[in-house]
């Protein structure tokens, strides 16, 4: 199973954006790893996430791969996943953190 965790700040992602992000992230998982990921959507309560002493505008997306990935394979996948979130969450590249980890042993 492909697991994906998406952490967003309360009040910064609309219901429409969330629906698009879930759909695009699921499609990415299916395309990249052969199955749609199970998405765990976590909303960080307002006032609980900070960057440089200011309320955070960052999002964090982690997904586990179905196999070990080489750097040559991982880097374009990270870029594609990040681009999805930059576009649909309306965030800058410095506000999107993506992780694609190898399977746990």
Q: To which residue do tokens 């307002």 refer?
A: 46
What's the CATH number where 28 sits? 3.30.429.10
The pLDDT confidence band at residue 96, using thresholds 50, 70 and 90, is very high
Q: Is residue 41 scored above 80 in pLDDT?
A: yes
pTM (2 d.p.): 0.91
pLDDT score, position 57: 84
Domain that holds residue 75: 3-101
Look at the chain and report how many structural domains it folds into: 1
Contact 16, 51 (CB under 8 A): no
Centre a 10 Å sphere on the Cβ of residue 71 and count the other Cβ atoms it contains. Answer: 6
Using one digit for the tens of pLDDT, what is the confidence trace for 58-88? Answer: 999 999 999 999 999 999 999 999 999 999 9
Instruction: Give helix 15-33 / helix 71-88 axis angle, nearest 10°.
Output: 160
**What is the token pair recorded at 22?**
């879930």
């Amino acid at each position: 199973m492909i697991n994906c965790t998406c952490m967003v700040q309360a009040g910064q992602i609309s219901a429409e954006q969330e629906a698009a992000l879930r759909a695009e992230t699921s499609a990415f998982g299916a395309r990249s790893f052969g199955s749609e990921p199970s998405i765990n959507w976590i909303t960080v309560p307002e006032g609980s996430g900070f960057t440089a002493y200011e309320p955070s505008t960052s999002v964090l997306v982690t997904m586990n791969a179905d196999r070990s990935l080489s750097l040559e394979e991982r880097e374009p996948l990270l870029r594609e996943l990040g681009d999805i979130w930059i576009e649909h969450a309306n965030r800058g590249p410095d506000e999107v953190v993506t992780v694609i980890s190898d399977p746990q042993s």
